[in-house]
Structure 1
Amino acid sequence: MSSPSPPPSWDWPNPFIHEVRVEPHHIDDFQHTNNVVYLTWMAKTAWEHSKVLGLDFPSYARLNRGMVVRRHELEYLAASHEGQRVLIGTWITANDGKLRLRRRFQMINGDTNETLLRGLTDFVCINIETGRATRMPQEFVDTYRLTADVAADRRG
């Protein structure tokens, strides 16, 4: 009888976790999850976390403000394969209270607890009608509070 695997080793405490399962359409010619799928999972996880925090698209529309991607950074560490569970953890690690927000991500194989990917996304607040960068409304400042203290993401 096998013993249960240890809990995932997250880079920072208390991530928001979104779980996915690797489906056949996620697999590329190398027989592992295509790299673009990981990026899609990051975006979905960020959006799910935002909704749990209380900022969904109707909230964005009401405020005429939204957070859009400026930059992604992904470090692929191991492959995932069809049928495996992937746990995607995210933390808000920077928010300047004006324009910019950063999220960090870690993906862990839910069966082996191996870290598959570490990544980050930088967001910028925009006016939805014009598409131009604009100052965050106070609701964004209050809602998108830091959930992890990452020294490299501190802004002066």
Structure 2
Amino acid sequence: MFKVTQEDIDGFGHVNNAVYLKWLDATVWAHTRYVGLDEQTCQSLNRGMAVVRHELDYISSAYLDDEIAVFNWLSANDGKLRASRTFQVVRIKDKKTLLRARTDYICTDLSTGRPKRMPQQFAESYQITSKAEATSPKAQAIPA
């Protein structure tokens, strides 16, 4: 969960577009650590998932002191090179969806930056989940 601070507000009085991307990134890293792929593990495997495409649909605005939930789920994973996450950003007080997004990744060799096949640990840890599973009230919260 995130709480909108004054630093998040732009000249138009709402959360700046770039802040949403920051929230998505923090959520991805929280989930990545949760499934056992922290930075140290990625370094030891010499692999990481690099963003190749972001697609963000801004639906409504967030404002100062709003509490925000970011849901994410693995919507694709070929177990070889590519994976995708889908996101839904929701204002908690009225459950209004503020943003929907999708990010596509490619597995890379951390020492060269070139695409390289996923290690087995990535393929197993990045399991595809449904939106219903990810946004269910029973879903375990992963602190960002």
1:81-106 CA deviation, whole Å, 9 max, x = no partner? 01000000000010011110100000
Partner of 1:92: 74
After TM superposition, the score normalised by the length of structure 2 is 0.89
Moved over 6 A (4+): none
The alignment-based identity, stated in percent, is: 42
1:121 maps to 2:103 = yes
Aligned partner of 1:10 in structure 2 is none
* Residue in structure 2 matched with residue 58 of structure 1 by the alignment: 40
The letter of the residue matching 1:126 is: T
Task: Say which SS state the counterpart of residue 61 (structure 2) adopts.
Answer: coil
The one-letter code matched in structure 2 to 1:115 is T
Distance in 2 between the 1:89 and 1:37 partners?
Answer: 15
Of 41, 57, 70, the residue aligned with 2:52 is 70
Letter in 2 for 1:89: F
Distance in 2 separating the partners of 1:94 and 1:43: 18
Q: Determine the structure 2 residue equivalent to 1:146.
A: 128
Unpaired runs of at least 5, structure 1: 1-18, 151-156
Amino acid at match of 1:82: L
**Given that residues 73 and 131 in structure 2 are in contact (C-alpha distance below 8 angstroms), is that contact kept between their aligned partners in structure 1?**
no
Deviations 1:34-75 (A, max 9, x none): 000001111110110010111100010010000111100000
Counterparts of 2:25 and 2:70, CA distance in 1: 11
Deviation for aligned residue 1:149: 7.0
**For residues 32 and 118 of structure 1, what CA distance do their matches in structure 2 show?**
17
The residue aligned with 2:29 is 47
Pair 1:137 & 2:119 matched = yes
- CA gap of 1:90–1:149, structure 2 versus 1, over 3 A, is closer
Offset, 1:147: 1.2
Cα distance in 1 for residues equivalent to 2:115 and 2:5: 37
Larger Rg: 1
**Counterpart amino acid of residue 36 in structure 1:** A
Instruction: Compute the TM-score of the two structures, normalised by the length of structure 1.
Output: 0.83
Change (3 A) 1:98 1:87: same
Stretches of structure 2 that go unaligned for 5 or more consecutive residues are 133-144
Task: Find the aligned partners of 1:83 and 1:53 in 2 and give their Cα distance.
Answer: 30
RMSD: 1.2
